[in-house]
Structure 1
């Protein structure tokens, strides 16, 4: 197997973390996002989305983190993607919620426009409106995550056992660290995220992202 990725990619992190924790081996092929290699050939034709990660396993090519996590868990018969129909449905629901609700406002309206120049809006007014919208909406989604998904005292997002939903969601939620987001108003989220960060491979896998965050120490962000 080959995993085309970048170590500072938010969407590569959940796959790399899961593989590291479960001892799944694959050749890592770095796509240099910093030089725009994902917009250049041969990668632009290899994945027309121009995004990472991409997993290649024989004649199979997968281009979405969520799909890659599900495939790997099934391929290696891992309990993090339960076989029970209802338990699996809960995992799917959680991953879809992160992708279609939380990530939209959290990533693309709040965090990314402040972190990456190519995500900035073309005018100062447009940028301000986008980020303020993202901040307001993110507060709502974080409250739902805190009160609904984690509000019953569960340890992990879908119950008492860690699943690929936790890997996927934690990598997205931890994006907030890069804009120094204060999670103290969401104690269940904070506690759950701390449990994920305590995984043995979280630090090594997140090292490049942490380094990037450190380079932004003097930058001011809109967060909570």
Structure 2
């Protein structure tokens, strides 16, 4: 099998790549990387990602890391496969790219901290830092206010159809739906409906099932 994803089921970035491959109806091999033993910080994994983070990706002799770069590669190279996750019209693509940047620069920082404090730390027996949670909730609220306005005028952040914009959001939203932060999403009707829509994507559900086996 040409495509390999080296990652861990608990990694939001790994989830992002797996969901993209399933959306594109592509076969791939999942290679488990043991984060507990620090496998990602040692060779031979470091030859795939010198920063020692999952996932790493192989497609034949091509090796990539950084989940958003991987998903963009997949959607461009395998454009004719599965569901279309990018937009062809240059102006629409520009809007989509804008919201992809918003996800990475505005949404990811506070939600990643919240996932760490409210999901990962309790799972590993560490204490949650309430000050970080409070600060991150305040930052996220400001982002979601802007999302609510955008989603009142557009079905999806990136346009009229599900694209990489939504796919990139999915892992952190999924984790936070099991925490008190869910209330921040639920209190905004358009954001709440958007979350329910994208979390129900068959490819996302199938990806979770594959990673949990």
Helix, strand or coil: the match of 1:175? Answer: helix
Can you give the 5+ residue segments of structure 2 that lack an aligned partner in the other structure?
A: none
Residue aligning to 1:100:
105
**Aligned mate of 1:115, from 119, 122, 129:** 119
Using a 3 Å threshold, how does the CA distance of structure 1 residues 123 and 115 change in structure 2: closer, same or farther?
closer
Q: Show the counterpart of 1:31.
A: 33
Superposed, 1:1-224 pairs within 5 Å as: 1-78=3-80, 79-108=84-113, 110-117=114-121, 127-148=129-150, 150-152=151-153, 154-180=154-180, 181-182=182-183, 183-207=185-209
Measured in 2, the distance between the counterparts of 1:89 and 1:9 equals 29
Contact 1:3 1:29 in 2 (8 A): yes
For residues 200 and 97 of structure 1, the distance between their equivalents in structure 2, rounded to whole angstroms, comes to 25
C-alpha separation between the residues in 2 aligned to 1:106 and 1:69? 20
In the alignment of these two chains, the number of paired residues is: 204
Give the TM-score normalised by the residue count of structure 2. 0.83
Structure 1: runs of 5 or more not aligned? 212-224
Q: Equivalents in 2 of 1:93, 1:102: separation in Å?
A: 13
TM-score norm. by structure 1 comes to 0.80
Query: How far 1:67 moved relative to its partner?
Result: 1.1
Q: CA deviation at 1:86?
A: 1.5
- Give the secondary-structure state (helix, strand or coil) at the position aligned to 2:63: strand
Give the distance between the partners of 2:92 and 2:44, measured in 1 at CA.
40
CA distance in 2, matches of 1:27, 1:209: 11
